[in-house]
Structure 1
Amino acid sequence: MTSSLLFTGSTVGSVVGTILLERIVNFLGRFYPFLDQHTYLPVVPFFDRLFTKNVPAALPCGVGYSPAKARFSSLVLGCLLHPLFFIVMGTARNYPALLMAYVIAAFARSFWTGERLNFYVVSTPKKPLGVLLGCWCIGSFSAPLVCQTLMAEGISWKHFYLGSLVISAIALSLTIFSFRPTRDEFLADRKVALDTMQISPSAHIPGTETMIQPSNAEKVRESSARTLLLALSMPYQWAFSLFAFIYGGSETTFQGFIVTYLLTNRGSSPNTVGYVSSGFWGGMAAGRILWGYYCTGSVAVYRHGLVSFLMCVSFLMTILIWLVDSTIENALSSVVVGLMYGPIFPGTLGLCNDILPRDVHMVSMAILTAVASAGSAVLPFITGIISNKDGMRVFCYVTVSQTVSMFVLWLFFPSSPPARVSSPA
């Protein structure tokens, strides 16, 4: 149960991040459309009037929003916050500090897994969401592999977290290089902002008395609220959310407790059992990358059937882990479970986008991501409480029941998008 509380810390950080994400991203994306230059810092009109000469008194009406700048700033902010997790884990002297580290890590991850990055990847020509999630799993595969190797050599696990700060620095550098707003993106966002304000770029010259028309910020916020309510009013949104909740909990329960299960119920060696977790994530990475390359553009019926097959194989592997008393077999089954689990979440996002109207895609992906994060904390926590009383034998009961629940729920989803009736002109 003590280990499960760490998942609860992740839930708290994820929930706080999800609630504050939209407000923080909107703030980070603020810029001055009337200026023929862009900055990486968000605008704060009060301070800018004090320190910037070419900011007019009518500035509050002249603040626009840049999606490119917001995406870049939010990703960089996540890269700056996440190293705090490694620092706290590497220097912690008590359990509450470890719990706080998990809260910080989940809060930082919310800026990476938010709907804007997923929606941005889906909107690109090749739609490599499966590849993106697969690369995430490559890190999950490498981390326990390296940590287990260091511990087997007698190196303290705390040094692993402190050494990971080097990876954080590399990630920050790559993020800045990849997502920094270009001049063309600034000009495109500037044009949209000026069009929203109903003026042209030459209609306002800093230092003149030309007034900028009020922006439609209130209308944009009202439109976002209506889109959220529209998504929440759709039964399929709730059904997909329930599926994502179970999937997130099942994935985290399996990878979080398989090592403990092998140690307590199979008598595995502490020096090698950690590699099983790496095998699971290695299979997960391979499954998602293959899905991203070969199945993203497939027809919905094919993708629906393939995900059904993957869940059936996962069910068989969990049964084998339950019945076969062999560390080697259980480790191999764990790899296959990871391979089968990999495509399920990107496949769910794809099917959800096929079924729901395009207007709610971005909001829907945000909801599914948040609910999956909640499931990845709540269900493992419940599993930890039960196993604290009845032992780790409940691990197999939980994983089998979760896989069956996902399969039954998946059968109720349509295998092809519903026909949409065009609205009259």
Structure 2
Amino acid sequence: MSTTQTETIELPTRISEIPDNGVQDSRPPEVKWMYPKILSAGVSFFVAGVNDGSLGSLIPYIIRTYGIGTNMVAVLYGTTFGGWLIAALTNSSITRYLDLGPILCVGAAIQVLAHVLRVWEPPFALYVVTFFLASLGQAFNDTHANTFVSSLTGAHRYLGFIHAMYMAGCLVGPFVATGIASANTDSMWYIFYAFPLGVGVVNLALLGVAFRDRMAAPAVLRSEGEETLSRSAWKEIKDTLSSPGVWLVSLFFFFFLGATITAGGWMVEYLVKVRNGDVKEMGYVPAGFFGGAFLGRLILAEPTHRLGERRMIFIYAVLCVGLQLVFWLVPNIITEAVAVSLLGFFSGPFFATGISVGTKIFSPEIRSSAIGDTAFVFVLGQVGGSIFPALTGIIAGKVGVQVLQPMLVGLLGAAGLSWLILPKDAALHRD
């Protein structure tokens, strides 16, 4: 894993952190409170996972509460993408005015606000707005937490941990959401958001404590004028978007996030409508997918790193396509649940490995905005994570939710093929 550090948010070297022993040390500077920082980054991803993983279990109740069709659910994914887009456009500027600690806390606070607005039964329009706020907060919180971890020595292990924490949140979310939503005949599903609200407050407190040494204004702000900072931010954005590496990595995330978010969002509705499953029981099936992904991110991180990232991710992609075909063609709910769990397991390493590879593909000149901020790669990937679930909902409104299956097979296959077109440098992929 690359240990290159960026000027804006990836552990800028502080003079006070370097031992003054008269001997030049080539090792990376020691990070204060490193393990509390890694833990708080993991909690940030857990909060995001609870939010993202619960939506699929809640969609059947949302549709019935607000009296909307599957095509209107597409609006939720559209506003989610809007939050990521705004974050990507403002990220380079905000990192010049705020250090890592305040950015993480701002992101966590915005997510808390989103859950405060959801915890009662809000009008549908306001409920839609909360998805914009939640994604904006995640973009600031999680991408910068990800950047911090990616700068550490042995980062592939720590990335595996924090992304496993995301899947742990996705695993817990459906259990809590389905349990609350199905508790009464007249469902009060929105009370579920008291859970991510409480965890979000804990997340905000942990970040404030663990990153308390990173609360001062960046040194670059004290040495450069506002006009110079603005020009530098826009130049960084331009350089990032002109880099082929950014687009190649983003293409992989475009298809991968499109597949996982589409599956998580529409799996329950598919099992209820097409397989005639009980909505009170089917709400737990996504937990199998997320549970498998949680284990995959923990167990497969090291083998993937050692055996060759390019080779192993492609093998996993082939296995995922096969398991998705089983889910589609075998009309048995138990078999489908097992297939979904295994699919989650083998797709688990995709995200952290994609970040790991990205840090090696991007040139040092653009790394601070492309992978340092992470937001550009994520927002371009979130295009797929927004378009394909929305498209599935729109088509499902016309022909039925069975369109989910060919959509997922195509997306998983495209993710595997897009991985193959990444640079084939031997040192990069360890082949």
- TM-score under structure 2 normalisation? 0.75
Task: Report what 2:123 is aligned to.
Answer: 94
2:150/2:356 contact within 8 Å kept: no
- Per-residue deviation at 1:334? 1.1
- Per-residue deviation at 1:225? 4.0
Secondary structure, counterpart of 1:414 in structure 2: coil
Task: Report what 2:210 is aligned to.
Answer: 178
Equivalent residue letter for 1:175: L
Task: Report what 1:8 is aligned to.
Answer: 78
1:250/1:403 contact within 8 Å kept: yes
Secondary structure, counterpart of 2:284 in structure 1: helix
Task: Report what 1:117 is aligned to.
Answer: 145
Superposed CA RMSD: 2.5
- Per-residue deviation at 1:394? 0.7
Change (3 A) 1:117 1:10: same
1:160 aligns with 2:169: no
- Per-residue CA deviations over 1:66-117 (Å, capped at 9, x if unaligned) read xxxx211111112222122222222234211211111111111111133x33
- Per-residue deviation at 1:275? 0.9
Task: Give, in whole Å, the separation in 1 of the partners of 2:303 and 2:212.
Answer: 30
Task: Give, in whole Å, the separation in 2 of the partners of 1:416 and 1:25.
Answer: 31
Task: Report what 2:178 is aligned to.
Answer: 148
- Per-residue CA deviations over 1:371-406 (Å, capped at 9, x if unaligned) read 122221111111111111111111111001111111
> Which aligned pairs between 1:34-45 and structure 2 lie closer than 5 A?
none
- Per-residue deviation at 1:259? 0.8
1:343 aligns with 2:346: no
Secondary structure, counterpart of 1:334 in structure 2: helix
Equivalent residue letter for 1:108: G
- Per-residue deviation at 1:26? 3.0
Task: Report what 2:396 is aligned to.
Answer: 387
- TM-score under structure 1 normalisation? 0.76
Change (3 A) 1:84 1:356: closer
Q: As a proportion of its length, which structure holds more helix?
A: 2
Secondary structure, counterpart of 1:110 in structure 2: helix
Task: Report what 1:62 is aligned to.
Answer: none
Secondary structure, counterpart of 1:113 in structure 2: helix
- Per-residue deviation at 1:282? 1.3
Equivalent residue letter for 2:411: Q
- Per-residue deviation at 1:294? 5.0
Q: Which runs of 5+ in 1 are unaligned?
A: 30-69, 198-214, 420-425
- Per-residue CA deviations over 1:215-237 (Å, capped at 9, x if unaligned) read 36655555554444333333332
Q: What number of residue pairs does the alignment pair up?
A: 351
- Per-residue deviation at 1:414? 3.3
- % identical aligned pairs: 21
Change (3 A) 1:87 1:224: closer
Change (3 A) 1:5 1:216: closer
Q: Which runs of 5+ in 2 are unaligned?
A: 1-70
Secondary structure, counterpart of 1:111 in structure 2: helix
1:140/1:281 contact within 8 Å kept: yes
1:256 aligns with 2:265: yes
1:307 aligns with 2:313: yes
Task: Give, in whole Å, the separation in 1 of the partners of 2:204 and 2:391.
Answer: 35
Higher Rg: 1
Task: Give, in whole Å, the separation in 2 of the partners of 1:394 and 1:133.
Answer: 29
Equivalent residue letter for 1:180: R
Change (3 A) 1:378 1:342: same
In the TM superposition, structure 1's runs of 4+ consecutive aligned residues that sit over 6 Å from their partners are: none
Change (3 A) 1:231 1:13: closer
2:304/2:312 contact within 8 Å kept: no
Task: Report what 1:60 is aligned to.
Answer: none
Task: Report what 2:39 is aligned to.
Answer: none
1:262/1:268 contact within 8 Å kept: yes
Task: Give, in whole Å, the separation in 1 of the partners of 2:257 and 2:115.
Answer: 23
Task: Give, in whole Å, the separation in 2 of the partners of 1:330 and 1:238.
Answer: 34
